[in-house]
């Protein structure tokens, strides 16, 4: 019996070492950046002071504790890339977004081995690999960057990465279709087979039905029209209609009338197309949920804490966007609710993330319970053993943290509109409901797409 007690005591010590190592790993690798660290940057963005926000991010990267650590390079590049685009620095934006795309692809190849690690520690120990919606919008904004620099072929390359057969949208379709029957139901079945009942307050993760972007199709069609490839443009406009028909959670609004208008420009006239981004996208935040595990011997371990990422809205983006062209006015219409896309595609990862968190916390708590029983059987006073469990639980809970990394500065909605004009020079004003105005002097050419884009994240 003494040999058994010694073995249990040794196991207890090993578990203590593992708990300590896990806690240290959390503090070393996690990028649990407090939201208030971004407050001055958010303040600049809210006022559309994009250059100031860019400079603040760059300043915050200097020193021993950068705002984005080396495990969060993708978020840094996304934030700089989107902000540089809004500021009109299209070349710098392309450089940042292209590097972010490269790191996302690189991280995907590492995901299998690092996925095993995250069952032991947490997702913050891995390099952030971006979300599906971020990977899509990288190409959309890069296409705009190339167009703004007069590189139509570069813009077409970017949209083709999304829309071509076996492109990113096609891959999403297959990914979500394969996962649809297994994410939620499979997870609940596994946990149910363990005899564990889940707290109903825990987010469950909904099936994902997003695999076509109306915004990507709209830009692709316009760029094909500019390239005189009318057949390809027709197919993209059809795919835009299909996107609206396939997902009413994202596309609950009517198809904008500009979609038909862009395809019907009278001979001798020119089309001015306006794209506007408004509001700021939802963001991940950490929420805590408790679970009831009565099978644990020690009562301290019967109420585990789960720290899970959830998506929350930030600022509303309601209100009209009015465009004035030499005194003639028209309203823009909603094309894509990018915030809804964010929420929809986030669900694709949620069940997997939840299962890893559940398994990891369960493993740690069971180990702590075994250590407690070993201490009691080894003759430790129950008070001392309980104090040890209390300290261990604190360390275990501290070692957990939701992965809330993401790009923070995507718009919330994309609006479109257009007007047929005589070829010539025009003064164009985009008036946002918030009071923000964007003014453009535009030469509108026949046979060109004459696309301008304006942003107000306020």
Domains held by the chain: number: 1
How many angstroms separate the Cα of 214 from the Cα of each of 63, 164, 245, 336? 42, 14, 10, 6
pLDDT grade, residue 21 (50/70/90)?
very low
SS3 298: coil
What pLDDT score does 17 carry?
Answer: 41
pLDDT for 4: 43
pLDDT the model gives residue 32: 42
What is the arithmetic mean of pLDDT over 340-350?
Answer: 85
pLDDT > 60? residue 46: yes
Domain that holds residue 70: 2-456
Please report the pLDDT score of residue 211 as a whole number. 82
Per the rule left: phi > 0, alpha: psi between -120 and 50, beta: everything else, 109 is alpha
- pLDDT value of position 107: 83
pLDDT the model gives residue 179: 55
- CA distances to 57, 279, 313, 401, 438 from 433, in Å: 28, 11, 19, 38, 12
Whether residue 120 is predicted with pLDDT greater than 90 in this model: the reply is no
pLDDT-wise least confident of 3-12, 104-113, 312-321, 404-413: 3-12
For 65, the token pair is 């504790």
Q: What is the pLDDT of residue 9?
A: 44
State how beta strands 283-290 and 270-280 pair: unpaired
Taking residues 237-262, what's their average pLDDT?
94
Check whether 367 has a pLDDT greater than 80. Answer: yes
Q: Are 407 and 78 in contact (CB under 8 A)?
A: yes
Query: Tell me, what's the pLDDT at 195?
Result: 65
Q: What is the pLDDT of residue 23?
A: 43
Q: Can you read off the two tokens belonging to residue 52?
A: 């100031």
Confidence of residue 128 (pLDDT cuts 50, 70, 90): very high
Give the number of other Cβ atoms within 10 Å of residue 14's Cβ: 12
Buried b (16+ CB within 10 A) or exposed e, 88-117: ebbebbbbbbbbbbebbeebeeeeeeeeee
Question: Nearest to residue 345, comparing CAs of 108, 137, 176?
Answer: 176
How high does pLDDT run on average in the chain?
Answer: 85
Taking the C-alpha atoms of residue 167 and residue 268, their distance in angstroms, rounded to an integer, is: 36
Please, are residues 281 and 314 in contact by the beta-carbon 8 Å criterion? yes
């Amino acid at each position: 019996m003494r040999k058994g007690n010694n073995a249990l005591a040794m196991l207890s010590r090993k578990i203590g070492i593992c708990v300590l190592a896990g806690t240290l790993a959390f503090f070393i690798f996690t990028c649990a950046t407090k939201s208030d660290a971004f407050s001055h940057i958010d303040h600049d963005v809210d006022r559309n002071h994009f250059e100031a926000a860019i400079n603040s991010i760059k300043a915050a990267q200097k020193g021993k504790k950068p705002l984005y650590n080396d495990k969060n390079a993708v978020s840094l590049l996304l934030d700089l890339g989107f902000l540089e685009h809004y500021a009109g620095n299209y070349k710098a934006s392309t450089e940042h977004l292209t590097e972010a795309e490269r790191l996302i692809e690189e991280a995907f190849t590492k995901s299998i081995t690092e996925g095993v690690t995250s069952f032991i520690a947490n997702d913050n120990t891995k390099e952030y690999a971006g979300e599906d919606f971020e990977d899509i919008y990288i190409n959309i904004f890069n296409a705009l960057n190339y167009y703004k620099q007069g590189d139509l072929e570069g813009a077409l390359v970017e949209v083709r990465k999304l829309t071509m057969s076996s492109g990113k949208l096609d891959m999403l379709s297959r990914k979500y279709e394969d996962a649809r029957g297994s994410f939620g139901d499979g997870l609940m079945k596994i946990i149910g087979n363990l005899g564990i009942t889940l707290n109903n307050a825990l987010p469950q993760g909904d099936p994902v039905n997003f695999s076509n972007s109306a915004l990507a199709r709209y830009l692709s069609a316009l760029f094909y029209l500019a390239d005189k490839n009318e057949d390809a443009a027709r197919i993209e406009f059809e795919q835009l209609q299909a996107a609206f028909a396939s997902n009413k959670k994202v596309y609950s609004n009517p198809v904008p009338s500009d979609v038909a208008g862009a395809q019907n420009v009278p001979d001798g006239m020119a089309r001015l197309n306006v794209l506007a981004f408004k509001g700021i996208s939802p963001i991940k935040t950490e929420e805590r949920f408790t679970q009831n595990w009565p099978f644990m011997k020690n009562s301290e371990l019967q109420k585990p804490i789960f720290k899970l990422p959830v998506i929350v809205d930030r600022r509303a983006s309601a209100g009209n966007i009015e465009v004035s062209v030499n005194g003639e006015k028209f309203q823009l219409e909603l094309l894509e609710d990018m915030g809804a896309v964010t929420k929809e595609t986030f669900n694709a990862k949620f069940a997997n993330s939840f299962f890893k968190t559940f398994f990891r916390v369960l493993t740690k708590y069971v180990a702590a319970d075994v250590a407690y029983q070993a201490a009691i059987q080894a003759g430790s006073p129950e008070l001392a053993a309980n104090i040890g469990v209390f300290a261990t639980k604190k360390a275990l809970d501290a070692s957990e943290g939701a992965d809330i990394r993401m790009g923070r500065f995507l718009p919330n909605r994309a609006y479109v509109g257009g007007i047929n004009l005589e070829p010539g020079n025009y003064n164009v004003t985009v008036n946002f409901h918030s009071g923000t105005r964007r003014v453009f002097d535009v030469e509108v050419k026949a046979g060109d797409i004459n696309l301008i884009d304006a942003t107000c994240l306020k």
